[in-house]
Chain A
Amino acid sequence: MDRIYRVTPQSCIACGKCELACSFAHGSDGRPAQSRIHIFRRGPEAGTPVVCLQCDDAACLAVCPVGALSWNLRTGAIEVSHETCIRCRMCVAACPFGNMHWDEGRHEVAKCDLCGGDPRCVPFCPTGALAWLQPSAAVRPAEPPASGMTGER
């Protein structure tokens, strides 16, 4: 795990390119509804991307009755083995953040798998709100509390 996926909601302009890239990258016909990253619009040209946090103590992984979810230690993603998955959808109910999806068309659960170590949403993000960084570059200097948005990224 030599990279970190960083989301900076302040930089998101809600263009939706990540949703399109995601749904194309995962073999759908580019329907953003099937994307594993979702943008919630806060107003014109301002959004909050919501995507799997790859939790250390992940509820999805803990509840899976058949061990279909596992860590990919190389990418740091929790991945679903669709061969083993029995479609009980307990993980969908267990994820406290709603980042485990049920794909009604394909009859599969779907989650962010960091595209196997090359997240396709990142190169399409025009503002750098999504970034795939070396751990040293991903750490931001501490900000004074309640500084609000001052233009820095």
Chain B
Amino acid sequence: MPTLTIDGRRVEAPAGTFLLQACRQAGVPVPTLCEHPAVEPYGGCRLCVVDVTRPEWDGWRKMVVSCLYPVEDGLIVDTRSERVVETRKVVLDLLLARSPRTPLIQRLAREHGIEKTSYEPNPDPTDCILCGLCVRICDRLGHSAIGTADRGAGRVVAPPFHEPPAACVGCLACAEICPTGFIRFESGPGGRRIWNRDFEMVRCPRCGRAHITKAQAEWYGKRMGWPPEEFEVCDACKRREMAAATVTLGSGPKGSAAS
């Protein structure tokens, strides 16, 4: 197993893993915004930068994003060097200029000693920090209904052609994973709306609760090889049925009514 030095401590890390995990396993905190264990490392937020060097490099060192840098035997990692701290500050300063009203960014910036951005604040503040989690999660689920569109300062997360996405099933995973709550949706008995697409809901045949979209039921059915009708009953009614079945199986007192 490769052995490396992180902030002066010798740490063993399994080969094939990345510096970020090694740091965290060693109990060294590294801030991140785009990292998630369910998806591949992305290197999008640049907050997890660290300094690395080796004894034979004669004092030369380089700054790398730890989420994408594989562990190596003999590597010396510094997560608190002056330029690492400065780089993280610049990243957060820029993010705060982009998203001045976003509580998560305000908090992280404050933790790094930035109360106010030194750049011109975004005249059109957005909560989207382009961490790409929503896009990667949607890919991971196999829909790829959203992606990033346009470039540079105009880069946004959007469905293809900024139209209601045909591949979306309305599962809301993108909105739930979003660290800043940028992705808005509406969901109620009448239907669900996300990415400007309206979804018809499946109503539980027992209690009438609208719990998933029809597209979700079809997708679940395809994924599990069950007919989509299997997903009609909501979880509360499934529990009630389980309780009733337990009674009819003969474990309940005779004559008691199964509710």
Contacts and interface: CB of A to CB of B under 8 A. Distances in A.
Asked if A and B bind, the verdict is yes
A67 B237 CA distance: 26
Interface in A68-104: 68, 81, 83-90, 92-102
A127 interface: no
A9 B252 contact: yes
Contacts of B36: 86
A89 B223 CA distance: 13
Interface residues of B, number: 43
B137 interface: yes
B231 interface: yes
Nearest to A62: B224
B173 A88 contact: yes
Contacts of B252: 9-10, 42, 46, 48, 149
A75 B223 CA distance: 30
Nearest to B235: A98
Contacts of B220: 63, 90, 93-94
Contacts of A85: 38
Interface string A97-134: 11111100001000000000000000000000000000
Chain B CB within 10 A, most for which of A59, A83, A85: A85
Chain A CB within 10 A, most for which of B39, B233, B259: B259
A42 B223 CA distance: 36
A27 interface: no
B152 interface: no
A3 interface: no
Contacts of A97: 238-239, 242
A101 B211 CA distance: 12
Contacts, number: 117
B203 to A, nearest CB: 14
A107 to B, nearest CB: 6
A66 interface: yes
Interface in B212-259: 212, 216-217, 220, 223-224, 231, 233-244, 246-247, 250-254, 256-259
Chain B CB within 10 A, most for which of A10, A89, A100: A89
A81 B37 CA distance: 10
Contacts of B37: 66, 81, 83-84
A98 B173 contact: no
Contacts of A149: 252-254
A92 B231 CA distance: 10
A95 B254 contact: no
B15 interface: no
Contact of A41 (B233, B238, B251, B259): B259
Nearest to A63: B224
B63 interface: no
A43 interface: yes
A67 B177 CA distance: 16
A148 interface: yes
Contacts of B244: 40, 48
Nearest to A37: B239
A15 interface: no
Given A62-B224, A68-B38, 7 more contacts: A9-B246, A40-B259, A42-B247, A46-B256, A93-B216, A98-B239, A98-B240
Q: Report, nearest first, the 10 A-B pairs whose CB atoms are least far apart.
A: A98-B238, A40-B243, A87-B176, A66-B38, A98-B235, A98-B239, A48-B243, A88-B173, A148-B254, A84-B37
Interface of A: 8-10, 38, 40-43, 46, 48, 50, 59, 62-63, 65-68, 81, 83-90, 92-102, 107, 146, 148-149
13 contacts: A8-B251, A10-B253, A38-B239, A40-B240, A42-B247, A42-B258, A46-B253, A63-B220, A65-B140, A67-B38, A90-B171, A97-B239, A101-B235
